[in-house]
């Protein structure tokens, strides 16, 4: 298996820095994508209750036949399940669908501030970890104010915050706040949902290294010490996206990609305004 970097988490656990994302992947497709990824060397899969594919992910994990402790599995509590009891119930339901006794990482999917429940939900995740349902707990789409509130109210910091992050939306301020609290940053839509793959700056760097645009972008996340979960269901792309450990970007490449940052570059919803 290819040697791959691990990122140390504040609770003593570690997460493989590169994982497979499975958003918008139906159950039957997820089985094959997960199996292909694990055979290619991935040891980390990112799903969520709302993706509707936890069963497929579980089947894919079993099809690959690796020892359970060798694969890092993340799932997320959906917004409609926010609340203390609801989050615990949601965690158990996810485990049942996945066919696992424990996930490696359980996240609150969105703060959904209009519901006014993310602090209670976080307390539910703290209990879920105590109950052994999750080895580590974290958040997704949390703005600095949400992060600081849950830490202030519970004294428990999430190990990680999974946020939209790619060369066109680099989230430097959010990364700094995460880091100040010992919270690792994980990049969702790391390829800009595929839109960044035709960017001429990325294409030039790819040519220079004899790599593909996707590999250059994934390498950029790795070189920025971000956890990264590119999605593909196409076997050769799943393998391509993992074949990123044999090269590094130089200072010129990093500067050129750094200059692509755009405050308007967000693709997904704004966590403060999303009404779901």
Note the residues at the interface with ligand NAD (CB under 6 A). Answer: 21-23, 46, 109, 140-141, 162, 188-194, 197, 212, 214, 229-232, 237, 240-241, 268
Count the residues in the chain.
276
DSSP letter (8 states) at residue 9: -
**Smallest distance from ligand NAD to CB 225, Å:** 18
DSSP letter (8 states) at residue 268: S
**Smallest distance from ligand NAD to CB 34, Å:** 12
**Smallest distance from ligand NAD to CB 16, Å:** 14
Residue 126 burial (CB count, 10 A):
19
Who contacts 165 (Cβ-Cβ below 8 Å, separation ≥6)? 171, 175, 185, 187, 188, 189, 190, 221, 226
Instruction: Say which residue the tokens 């290619």 belong to.
Output: 40
Closest CB to ligand NAD among residues 215, 251 = 215
Closest CB to ligand NAD among residues 130, 195 = 195
Closest CB to ligand NAD among residues 108, 126 = 108
Question: Using CA atoms, how far apart are residues 133 and 94, in angstroms rounded to an integer?
Answer: 10
Closest among 46, 49, 39 to 18, alpha carbons compared: 46
Q: CB nearest ligand NAD: which residue?
A: 21
**Smallest distance from ligand NAD to CB 193, Å:** 4
Question: Using CA atoms, how far apart are residues 132 and 115, in angstroms rounded to an integer?
Answer: 27
Max Cα distance, the chain (Å): 53
Instruction: Say which residue the tokens 């290819």 belong to.
Output: 2
Closest CB to ligand NAD among residues 259, 276 = 276
**Smallest distance from ligand NAD to CB 242, Å:** 10
Annotation marks residue 51 as catalytic: yes
Tokens of 259: 């200059």
With H, G, I as helix, E, B as strand and everything else as coil, classify residue 45: strand
DSSP 184-249: EEEEESTTGGGGGGG-HHHHHHHHHHT--HHHHHHHHHHHTT-EE--B--SHHHHHHHH--SS---
Closest CB to ligand NAD among residues 83, 230 = 230
Question: Which residues are known catalytic residues?
Answer: 51
């Amino acid at each position: 298996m290819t040697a791959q970097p691990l990122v140390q988490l504040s609770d003593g656990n570690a997460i493989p820095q590169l994982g497979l994302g499975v958003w918008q992947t139906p159950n039957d497709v997820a089985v094959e994508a997960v199996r292909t990824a694990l055979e290619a060397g991935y040891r980390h899969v990112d799903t969520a209750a709302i993706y509707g594919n936890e069963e497929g992910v579980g089947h894919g994990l079993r099809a690959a036949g690796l020892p359970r402790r060798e694969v890092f599995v993340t799932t997320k509590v959906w917004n409609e399940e926010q609340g203390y009891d609801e989050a615990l119930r949601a965690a158990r339901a996810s485990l049942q669908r996945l066919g696992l006794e424990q996930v490696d990482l359980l996240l609150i999917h969105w703060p959904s501030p209009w519901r006014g429940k993310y602090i209670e939900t976080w307390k539910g995740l703290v209990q879920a970890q105590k109950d052994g349902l999750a080895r580590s707990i974290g958040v997704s789409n949390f703005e600095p104010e949400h992060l600081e509130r849950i830490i202030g109210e519970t004294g428990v910091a999430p190990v990680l915050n999974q946020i939209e992050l790619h060369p066109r939306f680099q989230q430097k301020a959010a990364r700094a706040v995460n880091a100040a609290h010992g919270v690792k940053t994980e990049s969702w839509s790391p390829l800009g949902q595929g839109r960044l793959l035709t960017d001429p700056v990325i294409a030039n760097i790819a040519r220079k290294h004899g790599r593909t645009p996707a590999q250059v972008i994934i390498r950029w996340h790795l070189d920025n010490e971000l956890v990264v979960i590119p999605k593909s269901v196409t076997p050769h792309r799943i393998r391509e996206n993992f074949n990123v450990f044999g090269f590094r970007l130089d200072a010129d490449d990093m500067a050129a990609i750094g200059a692509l940052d755009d405050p308007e570059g967000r693709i997904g919803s704004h966590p403060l305004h999303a009404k779901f």
